Chain A
Amino acid sequence: MCMKYTIVLMLLLCLCVNAGAQTEPIQMLDTVYLSDANLKLFNTGQKQHHISEKAIARHNFALTDLLQRQTPIYFRQNGYGMVSSAAFRGTTAAQTAVLWNGININSALTGQTDFNTLLTANLSSIDVKFGGGSNIYGTGAIGGSIHLNQNLSKHVEEQHQFQTAYGSFNTFETQYAYQNQWKDLKFKLALVSRQSDNDYEIPEQDRQNQNGQFEMNSLDAVIRYDLSDDNILSYFSNFTFGKRHFSLIRPTEPRTRYDNIDTRNMIEWQSSSKHIQSKLKLAYLTEQFTFFDNLLRNTSSTSEVATQVMQYELLYSLDDIKLKTILNYQNAQGKGNQLDSAERDVAGISLVFQQQLTEQWNYEFTLRQDVNDDFENPFLFSFGSQYHLTDRWSLRVHASRNYRLPTFNDMFWVNGGNPDLVPETAIQTEAGVNFEAKGLHLSLTGFYNDINDMIRWLPDEFGIWRPQNTDEVVTYGLEPSLRYDYQISDDQSARFQANYGYTVSEDQSTDNQLIYVPFHTANAKLIYNINQWDFGLSWLYNGEVFTQTDNNPNRIVEDYALLDLQIGKRFPILLNSRLSLRAQNIFDLAYEAVDNRPMPGRALTIQLLTSF
């Protein structure tokens, strides 16, 4: 019932805005069109970190590697290139939302994103939003959210871009992108591939990483058509397919492989007038994986989910006030040989209000209610405010209530799905202070997160593993960060940036730290440019983590610090190319990210980027 009303309401709103748009005067649009506009408009009081296209290009194509070196998020990687999940602000893997052009792409099956299935090269920016975001982004945005953006400017120049890299363990990375404009139609087509034998010698052990080879490919398209100065039609498309073998601890273990095929297609229509902007997003997402549990026997199991998303956003701006409504409807249908037939409808409405009270002071609040057939959904809210004490100092606070729905696996797994689960909820508060001076940006954020009804898989009295709403977890911590840009002379510049995260993540029944959540994470980067040369030094630290819930001090994965080095030179006359040499883990350090899953030692890469 509710769904139908929602759809009707959405359609009505569309018509209204369209009618309005024709009579209102023309408004100039931003030159860069960001599908996920809420990122820029509604972030009062929350810590946010922007990673530019330029910064993305300085890393390899693996999203895990990039985020580890740019943010304090901890990644639990089951061996290099294998399954990679995030622990953001001390939360579990399914409590970080990943958004692709504003649409949540966490797996409907597991609730999480495997960060080693996503490639960075075709993205135009990545934004990391710390803390709760369910009010705008729905289920899963508890620890934080990671936003993968693909933008197209209003004016596009014809360009071919070609990147290729070759490195240790027979690792190839290739990207080709082409963009052009024909009158009001702009587009960018890109394909990217990353593959590796991944057969690294394991430092300090007399063996090689076996059965670790992987390949991941992605085809992307962004098309923008300016119907008029105030009506933009956009189309986003992503097709990702990969094959990964899962590495062995011993050569006698069964060899396994994991194939994934994901498609994401979205059409979007933005209509603007003087005070009103409306946006309709229609998306169709599919995910499919096949797990071969023994390659010799060629036995496998497959699961797939198709999700339809309809989102309508209506923004009203008047002087110092912004008011926005977001209507969202999602239908997901899953099937597979390990899954009872699964279907879910979720509809939600958000209301966002923002006001610039004075030049120094603004605030926003949001309200959201989701409904679906299976659960009582909690009522969500958030409040954020920022106050500029002086030109340099500002204070911010944010509080929100967020939630996560049980996943398809949690509910419908044939041998243990639990249909009686309730959503996880989390109350989060954070406060921070920013300092900005010429070239210098400092911020300090403290957060506190109270998570209830956390879902965990445990064996029941018959020994069958089933998900239960068992845990109450409190996470809190501090996140200082620093960035300093210094123009030394006309042809010399330097940048230094550093992030640190101190995170306590406590199971309330035992007062123990959650497993695989380090107390300390840190990274730092120094980049120095001179003429056409650039030099980069990157440092990454992950503190020790417990691998047992009793916090047994003998059962830990030890801390590690990695140092990477990068040297690049640009050749503007040679097809605007840049040649770079990169060394990861230059001290060839032996380390593990997960117990018994050793990571590679020193890895060298040579990379060439041209554009013409």
Chain B
Amino acid sequence: MKTFFRIYLLFALLILTACSNDDDVNMPAPKGEFDSGTLVLNEGGIGSVTFISNDYSRVDQQIYNSVNSGEDLGQFVQSIFFDDNNRAYIISNGSNLITIVKRFTFEKVGEITANLDVPRYGTVVDGKAYVTNQASFTTNADDFVSVIDLDTLETETIIAFDVVVEHIISDGTKLYVQNSAFGFGSGISVIDPSTNTIEAELDTGEALQSISINANTLYALHATGIDAIDLVSQELITTKSLPSEISGAKNLRISNGVLYYTFANSVYQTPLSETVLSSDPFISYDSDSEFGTMYGFEVNESLIYLADATDFASNGFVEIYDLDGNLVFETDVGLGPNGFYFN
């Protein structure tokens, strides 16, 4: 595998060199030091970001700290979201802080601290960021979504919830908030961004783990299956059943008509057309500890990315597979890797 890869790399480099000598004008200029690669978010302790270049020639650790000396991302960085102006917003749930950087250079351009209380995830619609906040862990009654104008970085409004809020995703017109966290809870709330109110609450199965949108359909992975909900009618179309031996599966992703999800140290896949979800592992990887597995997971452009947080007190690692299940690359990253983002 490795030999093959070296040859591939050499070949790629030769082509690149050739290109850059002859056809400078045709090559898109890199937008920054961290263009053409994957960002791995490491939760911390104090959070950090690892950059892996697409040709795997570079693995840069702690890129935020190296660009912005003396700064840090705060405690327990949970997730990153991006706006249309190539800015990345890095959410620290332990420090009630969102650090704003240019996504390709990682230069800090600002931060948001107002109206955040254990922020978790965010997404952008029409120049406004919608950020879920869990506030006190002892109650869900104080959970909220803060709506932030990204031009002024001022809070525009707060949308109050009486259920837990976790992942938030959008189809461009509406926002969908997962009303479950850490394997507890169910249901999805729909926010209408024109009024910034909750317009509907969609039911799902119990122990909702993960939500994803594909072609006007919202998929919700829970303890016993995946609910498919039509985004126009907001009705349940069908439920694909999940074999009980992998009940608790998480990390639902959809790519090129295939559903991907994980359970323990394995990745599973099922074509969207199937009604029963596969329980045959597609990729299994070795984890020294059987815990902290699949702490981060993503499918992007024919590659599968998974992260292992080991014992949360030592560096985690990342493995990248192709769609045939072959290991393409692996590397150590920072403490508690929990997500992948693509530049």
Instruction: Check if B311 sits within 8 Å of A463, measured CB to CB.
Output: no
CB neighbours (8 Å) of A552 from chain B are: 314-315
In this assembly, does B182 line the interface, its C-beta being within 8 Å of a C-beta of chain A? yes
Looking at A245-253, A360-368, A385-393, A561-569, the stretch in contact with chain B turns out to be A245-253
A478-490 near B? 1/0 per residue, CB < 8 Å: 0000000000000
Closest residue to B136 on the A side, CB-wise?
A299
The 8 Å CB contact of B136, one of A294, A458, A459, A595, is A294
Instruction: Check if B113 sits within 8 Å of A458, measured CB to CB.
Output: no
Please judge, given known A-B contacts A337-B138, A461-B293, A462-B183, whether A252 and B97 are in contact too, CB under 8 Å: yes
Residues of A in contact with B (beta carbons under 8 Å apart): 249-250, 252-254, 293-294, 297, 299-301, 337, 458-464, 515, 547-550, 552, 595-596
Question: Given the complex of chains A and B, what is the CA–CA distance between A463 and B166 in angstroms?
Answer: 15
Question: Given the complex of chains A and B, what is the CA–CA distance between A337 and B45 in angstroms?
Answer: 27
Instruction: Check if A249 sits within 8 Å of B95, measured CB to CB.
Output: yes
CB neighbours (8 Å) of B96 from chain A are: 250, 252-254
Question: Given the complex of chains A and B, what is the CA–CA distance between A606 and B253 in angstroms?
Answer: 64
| A-B CB contact pairs (8 Å), 26 listed | A249-B95, A252-B74, A252-B116, A253-B95, A253-B96, A254-B117, A294-B136, A297-B117, A297-B142, A299-B136, A299-B139, A458-B291, A458-B311, A459-B291, A459-B292, A461-B248, A461-B264, A462-B183, A462-B248, A464-B182, A464-B183, A548-B314, A548-B335, A549-B311, A549-B313, A552-B314
CB neighbours (8 Å) of A550 from chain B are: 310, 314-315
In this assembly, does B118 line the interface, its C-beta being within 8 Å of a C-beta of chain A? yes
Question: Given the complex of chains A and B, what is the CA–CA distance between A299 and B142 in angstroms?
Answer: 10
The 8 Å CB contact of B314, one of A459, A464, A549, is A549
Please judge, given known A-B contacts A252-B96, A548-B313, whether A460 and B291 are in contact too, CB under 8 Å: yes
Please judge, given known A-B contacts A250-B97, A254-B96, A550-B315, whether A461 and B335 are in contact too, CB under 8 Å: no
In this assembly, does B46 line the interface, its C-beta being within 8 Å of a C-beta of chain A? yes
In this assembly, does B94 line the interface, its C-beta being within 8 Å of a C-beta of chain A? yes
With both chains docked as a complex, state the minimum distance between the C-beta of B335 and any C-beta of chain A, in angstroms: 7
The 8 Å CB contact of A596, one of B45, B97, B292, B335, is B45
The 8 Å CB contact of A548, one of B137, B183, B315, is B315
CB neighbours (8 Å) of B315 from chain A are: 548, 550, 552
Instruction: Check if A300 sits within 8 Å of B138, measured CB to CB.
Output: yes
Instruction: Check if B290 sits within 8 Å of A253, measured CB to CB.
Output: no
CB neighbours (8 Å) of B310 from chain A are: 549-550
CB neighbours (8 Å) of B291 from chain A are: 458-461
CB neighbours (8 Å) of B309 from chain A are: 459
B232-259 residues with Cβ-Cβ distance < 8 A to A are 248, 250
Question: Given the complex of chains A and B, what is the CA–CA distance between A515 and B314 in angstroms?
Answer: 10
Q: How many A-B Cβ pairs are below 8 Å?
A: 79
Instruction: Check if A293 sits within 8 Å of B137, measured CB to CB.
Output: yes
Instruction: Check if A294 sits within 8 Å of B135, measured CB to CB.
Output: yes
In this assembly, does B3 line the interface, its C-beta being within 8 Å of a C-beta of chain A? no
CB neighbours (8 Å) of B313 from chain A are: 515, 547-549
Instruction: Check if A463 sits within 8 Å of B183, measured CB to CB.
Output: yes
In this assembly, does B341 line the interface, its C-beta being within 8 Å of a C-beta of chain A? no
In this assembly, does B53 line the interface, its C-beta being within 8 Å of a C-beta of chain A? no
Instruction: Check if B95 sits within 8 Å of A250, measured CB to CB.
Output: yes
CB neighbours (8 Å) of A337 from chain B are: 138
CB neighbours (8 Å) of B312 from chain A are: 458-459
B48-81 residues with Cβ-Cβ distance < 8 A to A are 74-75
- Listed from nearest, the 8 A-B pairs whose CB atoms lie closest are A550-B314, A299-B136, A252-B96, A549-B313, A252-B113, A549-B314, A548-B314, A250-B95
Closest residue to B265 on the A side, CB-wise?
A461
Question: Given the complex of chains A and B, what is the CA–CA distance between A448 and B139 in angstroms?
Answer: 47
Closest residue to A551 on the B side, CB-wise?
B314
Question: Given the complex of chains A and B, what is the CA–CA distance between A249 and B76 in angstroms?
Answer: 12
With both chains docked as a complex, state the minimum distance between the C-beta of B281 and any C-beta of chain A, in angstroms: 14
The 8 Å CB contact of A297, one of B116, B136, B264, B314, is B136
B89-125 near A? 1/0 per residue, CB < 8 Å: 0000011110000000000000001001110000000
* Besides A293-B137, A294-B136, A297-B136, 12 other A-B contacts (C-beta < 8 A): A250-B74, A250-B97, A252-B95, A253-B75, A297-B117, A297-B142, A301-B138, A461-B264, A515-B313, A548-B314, A549-B311, A549-B314
Please judge, given known A-B contacts A464-B182, A549-B314, whether A293 and B138 are in contact too, CB under 8 Å: yes
Instruction: Check if A249 sits within 8 Å of B314, measured CB to CB.
Output: no
Please judge, given known A-B contacts A252-B113, A301-B138, A459-B292, whether A596 and B314 are in contact too, CB under 8 Å: no
Question: Given the complex of chains A and B, what is the CA–CA distance between A463 and B97 in angstroms?
Answer: 24
CB neighbours (8 Å) of A596 from chain B are: 45-46
Question: Given the complex of chains A and B, what is the CA–CA distance between A459 and B293 in angstroms?
Answer: 9
In this assembly, does B273 line the interface, its C-beta being within 8 Å of a C-beta of chain A? no
Question: Given the complex of chains A and B, what is the CA–CA distance between A461 and B293 in angstroms?
Answer: 7
B264-280 residues with Cβ-Cβ distance < 8 A to A are 264
CB neighbours (8 Å) of B74 from chain A are: 249-250, 252
What is the interface size of chain B, counting residues whose CB is below 8 A from a CB of the partner? 36
CB neighbours (8 Å) of B116 from chain A are: 252
Question: Given the complex of chains A and B, what is the CA–CA distance between A596 and B335 in angstroms?
Answer: 15
Closest residue to A294 on the B side, CB-wise?
B136
Please judge, given known A-B contacts A458-B291, A462-B248, whether A253 and B142 are in contact too, CB under 8 Å: no
With both chains docked as a complex, state the minimum distance between the C-beta of B249 and any C-beta of chain A, in angstroms: 10
In this assembly, does B289 line the interface, its C-beta being within 8 Å of a C-beta of chain A? yes
With both chains docked as a complex, state the minimum distance between the C-beta of B132 and any C-beta of chain A, in angstroms: 16
CB neighbours (8 Å) of B113 from chain A are: 252
Closest residue to B316 on the A side, CB-wise?
A550
Question: Given the complex of chains A and B, what is the CA–CA distance between A239 and B312 in angstroms?
Answer: 38
Question: Given the complex of chains A and B, what is the CA–CA distance between A249 and B264 in angstroms?
Answer: 34
Instruction: Check if B289 sits within 8 Å of A458, measured CB to CB.
Output: yes
With both chains docked as a complex, state the minimum distance between the C-beta of A558 and any C-beta of chain B, in angstroms: 16
With both chains docked as a complex, state the minimum distance between the C-beta of B10 and any C-beta of chain A, in angstroms: 32
B179-209 residues with Cβ-Cβ distance < 8 A to A are 182-183
Question: Given the complex of chains A and B, what is the CA–CA distance between A559 and B117 in angstroms?
Answer: 35
CB neighbours (8 Å) of B292 from chain A are: 458-459
With both chains docked as a complex, state the minimum distance between the C-beta of A299 and any C-beta of chain B, in angstroms: 4
CB neighbours (8 Å) of B182 from chain A are: 463-464
Question: Given the complex of chains A and B, what is the CA–CA distance between A458 and B293 in angstroms?
Answer: 12
CB neighbours (8 Å) of B183 from chain A are: 462-464
CB neighbours (8 Å) of A549 from chain B are: 310-311, 313-314
With both chains docked as a complex, state the minimum distance between the C-beta of B221 and any C-beta of chain A, in angstroms: 14
With both chains docked as a complex, state the minimum distance between the C-beta of A54 and any C-beta of chain B, in angstroms: 42
The 8 Å CB contact of A254, one of B46, B118, B264, B290, is B118
With both chains docked as a complex, state the minimum distance between the C-beta of A93 and any C-beta of chain B, in angstroms: 15
Closest residue to A460 on the B side, CB-wise?
B291
CB neighbours (8 Å) of B142 from chain A are: 297, 299
CB neighbours (8 Å) of B248 from chain A are: 461-462
Residue with the greatest number of chain B CB neighbours at <10 A, chosen from A463, A515, A552: A463
CB neighbours (8 Å) of A461 from chain B are: 248, 264, 290-291, 293
Closest residue to B312 on the A side, CB-wise?
A459
CB neighbours (8 Å) of A297 from chain B are: 117, 135-136, 142
CB neighbours (8 Å) of B290 from chain A are: 461
Question: Given the complex of chains A and B, what is the CA–CA distance between A547 and B313 in angstroms?
Answer: 7
With both chains docked as a complex, state the minimum distance between the C-beta of A598 and any C-beta of chain B, in angstroms: 13
The 8 Å CB contact of A253, one of B94, B136, B264, B293, is B94
Closest residue to A470 on the B side, CB-wise?
B289
Question: Given the complex of chains A and B, what is the CA–CA distance between A458 and B310 in angstroms?
Answer: 10
CB neighbours (8 Å) of A301 from chain B are: 138
Please judge, given known A-B contacts A459-B292, A461-B264, whether A294 and B117 are in contact too, CB under 8 Å: yes
With both chains docked as a complex, state the minimum distance between the C-beta of A260 and any C-beta of chain B, in angstroms: 18
CB neighbours (8 Å) of A250 from chain B are: 74-75, 95-97
Question: Given the complex of chains A and B, what is the CA–CA distance between A253 and B93 in angstroms?
Answer: 9
The 8 Å CB contact of A299, one of B75, B138, B289, is B138
CB neighbours (8 Å) of A293 from chain B are: 136-138
Please judge, given known A-B contacts A253-B75, A550-B314, whether A595 and B45 are in contact too, CB under 8 Å: yes
CB neighbours (8 Å) of A299 from chain B are: 136, 138-139, 142
Closest residue to B75 on the A side, CB-wise?
A249
B296-326 residues with Cβ-Cβ distance < 8 A to A are 309-315
Question: Given the complex of chains A and B, what is the CA–CA distance between A301 and B138 in angstroms?
Answer: 7
Question: Given the complex of chains A and B, what is the CA–CA distance between A464 and B161 in angstroms?
Answer: 24
